[in-house]
A and B are shown apart, each in its own frame.
Chain A
Amino acid sequence: MRTEDDKRLIHRRLVERIVGGPGQAPADERRRAFERGELSESLRPLLDKVATSSGQVTDVDFDRAIGAGLTEDQLFELVICAAVGESTRQYQAGLAALDQATGDAGAT
């Protein structure tokens, strides 16, 4: 079985911190942003774009969320969770494909 390298350990600490650590947005909302789970109408357009088409994000997306009562600090956290969440799914998909190609099912 392969062991985790340093980068994967740092990655795991990053994810644990932004999703489960202290923050101004509630932890369950940060988790939904990370996982692309169910989101309010004020947040979904912004966070969907962050995950799938970040170049399409506009001021209007932020204005909608601010207008619904979210603070800039909460949006800072939620955008980071959405970005890291999508990047993490891709990272894990790549590592899983590599395991499959090399027959190393023990790696995570």
Chain B
Amino acid sequence: MRLRVLDSGYGAGTRALFRLIRLFSGHPVPDAAKITFYRSDFYGAHMKELTHEAMRGRSDWSVGDRELMAAYVSKVNESPFCVGAHSATAARAYRDGKKVEAALADLDGAPLDQGLRATLRMLGKLTAEGSVGADDMRAVLSAGVSREQIEDALAVCFAFNTTDRLANAFGFEVLTHEGFEAGAKYLLKRGYR
């Protein structure tokens, strides 16, 4: 990573934990997880709680839907690490990698529920342009999405608008296919805490 402290500035306990994770998973701890341990009282503790609540808390969106939102926002933000991580997690959650690929390649033509498609379109506009209007929200509501679901989707968007920026700025190492698959398995089993 671009800041050396994010690679090597951890205490003995955290370093031991990283070694243990590597031993059991066969893969090094991804940079996205590492930075939540660095001075976790500053950022990581709150951000892990928020991301877990957005991605795994109670919601009318499925886990796969929320992981697809994360991948889609990350694609708009051009964050290769986060696209890889959350495409793999969405594909595993849906048990349908082609659906995820199609949504990221061509939102209008992908085999998605109309409500999810309208929500992704709105999140994409918010991420690309920095704002949306009431008409954008009315389009999502008229596709059958509830107000609460839109609030939930906006929280997912916040989490990944933040993580994407940190991934790009700090220079998170893009994992191998096997690394992303291992990460996806972990995120579906344990979440973001």
Contacts and interface: CB of A to CB of B under 8 A. Distances in A.
| B and A form one assembly | yes
Interface string A79-92: 11011101111110
Interface in A52-98: 54-55, 57, 59, 62, 72-73, 75-77, 79-80, 82-84, 86-91, 93-95, 97-98
Interface string B143-178: 000010011101101100110111111110000000
Main secondary structure of the interface of A (DSSP, over half): helix
Interface stretch (B25-33, B92-100, B125-133): B125-133
A40 interface: no
A55 B42 contact: no
A39 interface: no
B42 A98 contact: no
Interface of A: 5-8, 10-11, 13-14, 17-18, 21, 23, 46, 49-51, 54-55, 57, 59, 62, 72-73, 75-77, 79-80, 82-84, 86-91, 93-95, 97-98, 100-102, 104
Contacts of B77: 54-55
Nearest to A6: B53
Contacts of A101: 134-135, 137-138, 141
